[in-house]
Structure 1
Amino acid sequence: MALGVAISFSSAPGAKADAAGKGGDYVPIDSVALLDTRSGVGGTTGLRGAKSVTTFTAVGVGGVPASGVSALMVDVTAISPTANTFLSVYPDQTTRGSSAMDASIGEVITNSAMVKPGANGKVAVYNAAGNVHIKVDVVGYFTSVTGSTGSGFVPVNHTRVVDTRTGLGTTAGTLTGGVRTANIGGGGLVPSTATAVMLDVVVIGATGGGWVTVGSSASAKTAVDYVKGDTSMGMAVKLNADGSRNVTLESRGPAVHVAITVQGYWTGSPTTGAGLRPVPATTLYDSRIPSGAQPIPANGSIEVAVGGTNGLPTRGIAAAALNVHVVSPTGGGHLTVAPLDGTPITASTANFPAAHVARSSLVVTKVGTEGKVRIRNHSSGTVHLVVDLQGWFADPTAFLPTESFARSTALQGEPADGSSAGVIVYAHTDNTGQVRVVHQQNPDDFSSFQHIPVFGAEAFTGQPSLNVLGGSKQMQVTALHTTGAAWTGAQTAANTATWGTTGNLGGTMAAPPVAVTLADGTSVIFAVDVDGRLWHYRQSGTGASWKSLGDVDLAGGLTAVKIDIGVRLVATSTTGTVKTAVYSDGTLTAWTDLGGNVTGVPAAFLNQGYRTGVVARAADGSLVMKKQELGGAWPSAWATVGTFTAAGSPAAIVDPALGRIVVVARGADNEMYRVYETEQGTGTWGEWLRLYDNPGDPSAATAATDPTIAPIQNSAGPGFVVVYRNRNNATIALDRRFATAAAAVAAKKTPPTVSFNAHIVPAPPA
């Protein structure tokens, strides 16, 4: 079976920071304690035990409004735990996510976190082990809708702006109590209009425990609690409106040096910069898994994918909010976190001492090509790393236009009982962007259909894809949202006419996805982005995500054919040639360029075993074909498929009864035509004929879309159906018939007369 899609990508006007109404603008406030179990602030007094959950009200208090809040920026402090532990901070009444911070026995340590309030306005804190006091301070909040308040975020390459060892940005010399002024402007790095700044603050060379605060006033400051050695923490700091970019450093404890790195800033307007999209705290990477995995070596690095995971886009991520945990370091040092292909970063983050159980630090960083970051271990020893995602900042992105009269898709399901023929399902995206599914319960009865809209009022574009999920035999529909994300929905049970939405898979694609089910039952979705990069999404196990298969300059439309060793992918390149590669077990072979000067989406079909044939529309409108030779090689020249000028992309199949190739295409008169090989395997062609020649019903004969071919099985045996839509959005399904019942048996000696019986599926009522 072959599946093909086509869509043109055009740039719509880009949105401002949050013009889509999703909010995410930041409002800094003076630091306020929402929870302190030592004093009872937040409603809980006393040590919190192992596996305890402590909840507190997070909205409508301390300068945080009672509504319109999508997330909070908080500082979480573990105070003198009696066992090595970790704290998780998450929306109340939801499933607990990954940890916000790690703390060792007896230490007082702090980390920042971005967390959504629960539906009841509360936040929960989980303590893993031992007894501990917990303190949570709020320093700002993010809006849920764009309004007149708040600021968008602008990430910068991590840049050191203050260092008391050298006098950078402040007076040189250790902090030994008292206060000191520092300038975090970085020579214009942080503009005078910024309202807040995201910093990484490092306390260096402590001989014991203490704390350092960084703030623009006595009430607008954030504290980093430190222990012996080096400690660092990512924090958001409110800035004064005077444009000075000055902050005050105050310390209590032994003499220490302080270094500060800017990771980004919030602008003075909600219409500039990027808005936060909070997510449930989720682990992206853990070097300890699987059991026995090797740690990151000294001066070694890892790549961590952010884009395409957890429903995130693969483009348009201005920055990612990551919580980085250094576990069991064998030497002291620090990390650098940078975009995969960006400017090398020298400024440290997540500083850690040797032989420490674990150390956590919030890091906000740009992401690179394919949405990845590179984290390097700058130490003489090994470390394990755990990287959690807390949210991401959304760049302005273009919406895809809704394609008018996109191709339909058809697929026959697998029979649930193993004997009767499965239902036939037709799917298309109408001109308003709604995805519609049509059920034909009985493959012999083309008179009874059911229309099922899926995905509600969401807007989609292009041809949807259908595949049967392994094991359950439920059919799945996959469609391209106008945001570029791929959405899936599936039957609630095999062959039923009820469907549910199974998820927004994320991604930022320029052409509709194509889904196939591999021989082992794994469902895989392929799609191409605006750069011509191919992505795949394997729907198996936990943590499924979009992963790149390389930038090969594909034009968008993609066709997939299942073969013996995997899936053959066929596509048009940006230079108008046809490219093909084989996907197997998650990997892709090198691409073969078949040459040509073609447009649209090539059709592909199995021919003589698992060899592939390809039909494409040349630039002059003629149809050309290449078929793999014995041994898998491709001929150098394209052969013309008869004399015909096509108006769009073709469809092709080997007739399962005749063993002859049939090609179908829309003509310049918007009628559908077909041509057969004169004999099996000859590559010579008969006459191009109208597929449906019924002068009494011209509305059905006139096509508004390119055709799709799907193999079907009914009481007459194996066959196929050609599907397209007319300008009334009615689906036309034509099944191949023979002149007599005995003709198919005699096909090898006397090719029978082939006709196509048309069935009109009315458009759904308005």
Structure 2
Amino acid sequence: MKKLLTSRLRARVGSGLAALGVVLAMVVSPTPAHADAAGRGGDYVPIDSVTLLDTRNGTGGTTGVRGAKSVTTFNAVGIGGIPSSGVSALMVDVTAISPTANTFLSVYPDQTSRTTSELNAAVGETITNSSVVKPGANGKIAVYNLTGSLHIKVDVAGYYTTATGSVGSGFVPVNHTRVVDSRVGLGIATGTLPTSGTRTANLSGGGLVPSTAKAVMLDVVVTGSTGNGWVTVGSSATAKVGIDYVKATTSMGMAIKLSSDGSRNVQLEARGPAVHVAITVQGYWTSSPTTGAGLRPIPATRLYDSRLPTGAQAVPAGGSVDVAVGGTNGLPTRGIAAAVLNVHVVGPAAAGYLTVTPLDGTPNSASTADFPAGLNNTRSSLVVTKLGTEGKVRIKNVSGGTAHILVDLQGWFADPMPFLPVQSFSRSVARQGEPSDGSALGTIVYAHTDNTGQVRVVHQANPDDFGSVQHTPLFGAEAFTGQPALNVLGASKQMQISALHTTGTVWAGAQTVANAATWGTTGNYGGTMAAPPVAVTLANGSSVIFAVDADGRLWHYRQTGTGASWKSLGDVDLSGGLAALALDTGIQLVATTSTGTIKTAFYSTDGALTGWTDLGGNVTGVPAAFLIQGPRTAVVARAADGSLVMKKQELGGAWPTTWQTVGTFTAAGSPAAIVDPALGRIAVVARGPDNEVYRVYETEQGSGTWGEWLRLYENPSDPTAATAATDPTIAPIQNSGGPGFVVVYRNRNNTTIALDRRFAAPGGMAAAKVSPSAVSFTPHLIPTPPA
């Protein structure tokens, strides 16, 4: 499979000054991303800065210092140019004013649980940081103060829309590029900003920010200060944002509204000791909502904390950490234009700064989150950054000492991604649940995605009664594609279903209780996959979902503990044809590659993956993998010429060189296979060119020779009822007759046909042991829901 390649024009950075990561560069304006294709908004509307809360004068409804563990709420919509509805998030600047103890502030939607800190402040400091925060359902925002007492000020610089309309702008991220530095005369006159002085700075960066940009995302550094003060940055007297600074160096991420004259000039105004100012561009907002990426805000979530687990080591001088963003918290693994991160530095042993770079991208030398030395110091800075390979960023500690680093996710900007087409007549899946009381037989669940994209589940309460079933559509009006996956969760014994959404994300839901016909809350687990998921429960009871993306990279989602996320198992050019077998110590994975070979690898219980063994071949579709005595893995696949071929792992684990042909048969699709639990012989089923389903048995146990291919189901009264529209699947089941299996497929009417293996008289199983032709399959047309 040819890889999907994304070409992005990147601005190149030059050499830097060590103290602040100064960049002197010739830059090229990147091509804006396309507008959000989903119509879900996230367009940014910059406004003249408005104060929503100031406890010093009662703005926002609260007057006076706020004490330890206090929560201060204020209205955030319907005021100051912010509409009362249609607002998905606000870009706010939060200021902690003269706290009496080291503290942090958390900013979050009112009437929800607070999560992470947005701003850390030491005793006596006045310091600011930006934050992207959703208003609560009541239109309010809450601010929590940890310890001590202080005044709190919150300003808003703009808002994001809930739907794409005629207002707002999409976002275009750029490689972090220094465009202003008063120490070297970059974009501004050389020299410090004097007390109560102003100076004009140009943010264009040689074309990095186009003249049509409505707003720009900056990292602003104030350095060389001998005391406290503030600097405002703005395109007019009303469109400005302030950075409060303390002695030495302070930095802050901020969004600035630009002038409509296209100049990209801003005025810097200082109040306090003379200082130098350096400004880095992280991205800009375009001229309209039809270009650029839309914001997807999420509840602030911690992605990384070098202090955890307890006893963990701080990041060393010059050291770096790689932080996964894509695939976490329900995010996709592709199509993220940029992530909105809040980066904290805790207890640095020496002064310095951080750089934030897309993993495997062009290294950024421009600084962010500049910090002074001090084991009691903490600095926070909002950072908007592109993501690199597998949705990761690399954060480097550019200082002469150790420092702890914390990273919080506040949202992400969505690039459009093509929708996956709904696959017509995708394969069904079936699975029997585990008995919940130790005696009764588990119920059988059938599932498929129909030709409209609806995931449908059929519940068969009695394994012996195929006529009494209950149909349940899942996931509401969402559209899915391909074969779903079923697995039984650990101790709860609930059945879980996983399915591929047409956006490429993977959704999952589970029975309310084991063997129930009702299903509980479903969830979007994120990811951006090109092939349907495969789900397996490990011997320790934990569940793992596997899926393959458009690059042929395999991902796994371990549903254990908190913070479950998609993690890459490497790019091995898989085509999406994936099978998985649960073993006592892990999972045997078998997959088709883009070149038509079969590869296999072992995934251990702890999540480690062995190297891949290439079994060769020239195959198509999804291989059938099943266990034989040993336990060993056997694989049946459809060769490019339509024949079916098999390989069986040898005792000791080696694989034979050659593939064995499974009788004389031409298959029209992917096969299914099992070792018949009663006969001990391999049975293979496949759809033929006539769209009938056929089966074959080994002539003897382990013989490697095959009997006659026989039609699985003949219905002389209605031949169309037996005609298969999908490839068959096999599920082992246990009914009153003992262990067996059922073959499942659907016909052109989307009717599910289940055929359970029986031993027909005369002779029953005894006759079948002599001649597999004596095996019969009883067809059951699962009743469809009433029209």
Q: TM-score range by the shorter chain?
A: over 0.9
2:578 to 558, 565, 589: 558
Comparing 54-63 with 561-570, greater Cα deviation is found at 561-570
Matched, 1:666 2:684: no
Question: Is this contact kept in 1: 2:699–2:771, CA < 8 A?
Answer: no
Separation of aligned partners in 2, 1:582 and 1:700: 40
Listed as ranges, the matches of 1:576-615 within 5 Å are 576-584=596-604, 585-615=606-636
Structure 2 counterpart of 1:54: 72
Matched, 1:644 2:665: yes
Structure 2 counterpart of 1:717: 738
Separation of aligned partners in 2, 1:188 and 1:58: 35
Listed as ranges, the matches of 1:35-114 within 5 Å are 35-114=53-132
Structure 2 counterpart of 1:3: none
1:707 to 703, 720, 728: 728
2:350 to 319, 331, 336: 331
Separation of aligned partners in 1, 2:414 and 2:762: 61
Give the letter for the 2:413 counterpart: F
Matched, 1:275 2:288: no
Separation of aligned partners in 1, 2:704 and 2:584: 24
Structure 2 counterpart of 1:205: 224
User: Per the alignment, do residues 81 and 111 of structure 1 end up closer, same or farther by CA in structure 2, a change over 3 Å counting?
Assistant: same
Matched, 1:231 2:250: yes
1:678 to 686, 694, 699: 699
Question: Is this contact kept in 2: 1:743–1:752, CA < 8 A?
Answer: no
Structure 2 counterpart of 1:303: 322
SS at match of 2:720: helix
Matched, 1:175 2:193: yes
- Higher relative CO (CA 8 A, sep ≥ 6), structure 1 or 2? 1
Structure 2 counterpart of 1:513: 533
Cα shift at 1:501: 2.8
Give the letter for the 2:539 counterpart: A
Cα shift at 1:502: 3.0
Structure 2 counterpart of 1:457: 477
Structure 2 counterpart of 1:343: 362
Structure 1 counterpart of 2:22: none
Cα shift at 1:694: 2.6
Cα shift at 1:447: 1.4
Structure 1 counterpart of 2:160: 142
Question: Is this contact kept in 1: 2:759–2:768, CA < 8 A?
Answer: no
SS at match of 1:293: coil
SS at match of 2:721: helix
Identity %: 78
Separation of aligned partners in 2, 1:716 and 1:609: 26
User: Per the alignment, do residues 9 and 494 of structure 1 end up closer, same or farther by CA in structure 2, a change over 3 Å counting?
Assistant: farther
Cα shift at 1:9: 11
Q: Deviations over 1:21-62 (max 9, x none)?
A: 210000000001000000000000000011100000000001
Cα shift at 1:406: 0.3
Structure 1 counterpart of 2:513: 493
Cα shift at 1:695: 1.5
User: Per the alignment, do residues 741 and 321 of structure 1 end up closer, same or farther by CA in structure 2, a change over 3 Å counting?
Assistant: farther
Structure 1 counterpart of 2:391: 371
Give the letter for the 1:653 counterpart: I
SS at match of 2:765: coil
Cα shift at 1:763: 2.6
Question: Is this contact kept in 2: 1:564–1:610, CA < 8 A?
Answer: no
Cα shift at 1:165: 0.4
Question: Is this contact kept in 1: 2:33–2:293, CA < 8 A?
Answer: no
Cα shift at 1:198: 0.2
Separation of aligned partners in 2, 1:694 and 1:30: 75
User: Per the alignment, do residues 741 and 256 of structure 1 end up closer, same or farther by CA in structure 2, a change over 3 Å counting?
Assistant: farther
Cα shift at 1:748: 5.3
Aligned-residue CA RMSD (Å)? 1.6
Q: Deviations over 1:311-359 (max 9, x none)?
A: 0000000000000000010110000001001101110000000004211
SS at match of 1:292: coil
Cα shift at 1:255: 1.4
Give the letter for the 1:125 counterpart: V
Cα shift at 1:10: 11
Question: Is this contact kept in 1: 2:33–2:291, CA < 8 A?
Answer: no
Cα shift at 1:699: 2.5
Cα shift at 1:196: 0.2
Question: Is this contact kept in 1: 2:38–2:416, CA < 8 A?
Answer: no
Question: Is this contact kept in 2: 1:454–1:501, CA < 8 A?
Answer: no
Structure 1 counterpart of 2:710: 689
2:237 to 198, 218, 229: 218
Question: Is this contact kept in 1: 2:211–2:262, CA < 8 A?
Answer: yes
Matched, 1:397 2:442: no
Give the letter for the 1:119 counterpart: A
Cα shift at 1:563: 2.1
Structure 2 counterpart of 1:635: 656
Structure 2 counterpart of 1:420: 440
SS at match of 1:588: coil
Q: Deviations over 1:374-395 (max 9, x none)?
A: 0000000001011000000001
SS at match of 1:149: coil
Separation of aligned partners in 2, 1:29 and 1:588: 51
| TM-score (norm: length of structure 2) | 0.95
Question: Is this contact kept in 1: 2:691–2:725, CA < 8 A?
Answer: yes
Structure 2 counterpart of 1:319: 338
Gaps of 5+ in 2: 6-31
| TM-score (norm: length of structure 1) | 0.97
SS at match of 1:744: helix
Question: Is this contact kept in 2: 1:412–1:712, CA < 8 A?
Answer: yes
Structure 1 counterpart of 2:19: none
User: Per the alignment, do residues 188 and 10 of structure 1 end up closer, same or farther by CA in structure 2, a change over 3 Å counting?
Assistant: closer
Cα shift at 1:747: 5.9
SS at match of 1:500: coil
Matched, 1:572 2:587: no
1:468 to 468, 482, 488: 488
Give the letter for the 2:264 counterpart: R
Structure 1 counterpart of 2:783: 762
Q: Deviations over 1:400-446 (max 9, x none)?
A: 00000000000000011011110000000000000000011000111
Structure 2 counterpart of 1:294: 313
SS at match of 2:520: strand
SS at match of 1:499: coil
Separation of aligned partners in 1, 2:140 and 2:231: 29
Cα shift at 1:752: 7.3
Cα shift at 1:310: 0.3
Question: Is this contact kept in 1: 2:336–2:415, CA < 8 A?
Answer: yes
Matched, 1:547 2:567: yes
Separation of aligned partners in 1, 2:361 and 2:771: 66
Matched, 1:193 2:212: yes
Comparing 749-758 with 247-256, greater Cα deviation is found at 749-758
Separation of aligned partners in 1, 2:660 and 2:203: 67
User: Per the alignment, do residues 200 and 68 of structure 1 end up closer, same or farther by CA in structure 2, a change over 3 Å counting?
Assistant: same
Structure 2 counterpart of 1:433: 453
Give the letter for the 1:518 counterpart: L
Give the letter for the 1:205 counterpart: G
Give the letter for the 1:648 counterpart: G
Give the letter for the 1:53 counterpart: V
SS at match of 2:784: coil
SS at match of 1:261: strand
Gaps of 5+ in 1: 1-6
Cα shift at 1:749: 6.1
Separation of aligned partners in 2, 1:26 and 1:725: 48
Give the letter for the 1:488 counterpart: A
SS at match of 1:279: strand
Cα shift at 1:743: 3.6
